[in-house]
Amino acid sequence: MSTMTMAKAINAGLRAGLENNPKSLLMGEDIGDLGGVYRVTEGLKADFGASRVMDTPLAESGIIGTAIGLALRGYRPVCEIQFDGFVFPGFNQITTQLAKMHSRSEGALSSPVVIRIPYGGGIGSIEHHSESPEALFAHTAGLRILTPSNPQDAYWMIQQAMACQDPVIVFEPKRRYWLKGDVDTEKPTGDPFSAHVLREGTDATIVAYGPLVPVALAAAKAAEEDGRSIEVVDLRSISPIDFDTVTESVRKTGRLIVTHEAPTFGGIGGEIAARVTERAFLSLEAPVIRVGGFHMPYPVAKVEEHYLPDIDKLMDALDRSFAY
């Protein structure tokens, strides 16, 4: 057991993945000598060489397209997209080629490509650097989507993604890169596509993922002072979603708040609300309440605190839920 930041945990996970499979390699803009803009890949080029930790041109469509070709020839490429908003030049390759290859070939071909995308706000930056586009990819069949909320998950999820036969997008919450936590490098965290109940409760459930998990835990702790017992579920996987764990929690608590940084309009929270309503309608004591970003471009740093979900917004959502 050791203590690491999330960035260091991902670095260690990538290192383990490279060591375990000689066919694995990293690709991305400035990931070599610089170690990426967040230094997540720092030191890996020095240890594994330029043929396995490759700096690429500033062309996301080229990065993804090349990775698909490498995967079809037996390699295991891991692509880094420098910022969330930069993925869109590669969106066509991801959704029309990478996600469809297995189905198109009737199972004869697989494309085990991993795409790492730092996402979310809270870093004092602007649109293109602080966005949460996960719902756009979740809508595309053929992609698996993971997002860690702590160093332990980050260390193991990246390795599990590298070992997966399907394309996997790993959304890394960039404002949590410096979050420290214990990492057990000997014991995996189990199925990466399952949700985890991080805090038991009886009165309401908060479902969160990625950067908002610490916020949800803080809100649950604050609600304790009001005599409310709040269960917190870390979704961990955005596609597929572990609806069984979420539904089981809601059947116990009777109330559900879903939170994410992405806009609530067309967001993952809406899908969760619909599924829970279908599965556990008679258990609900109140409507499912979503807490997320506004349906607008990500704002400038001066006002981003008003855009992002925080403890106050979650506490208000709990108050509204208990008012029913």
3: CB partners within 8 A, 6+ apart: 180, 181, 182, 183
Give the list of residues 6+ apart from residue 31 with CB closer than 8 angstroms, or none. Answer: 41, 44, 45, 53, 54, 55, 80
The residue from 129, 139, 196, 306 that is catalytic is 129
- Distance from C-alpha of 205 to C-alpha of 122, rounded to nearest angstrom: 24
Q: How many helices and strands, by DSSP H and E, does the chain display?
A: 12, 14
For 33, counting Cβ atoms within 10 Å of its Cβ (0-12 exposed, 13-18 middle, 19+ buried), the class is exposed
CA distances from 134 to 56, 158, 238 (A): 24, 17, 8
H or E stretch at 117: strand 114-119
Closest CA to 227 of 319, 147, 305: 319
196 annotated active-site = no
Active-site amino acid positions: 129
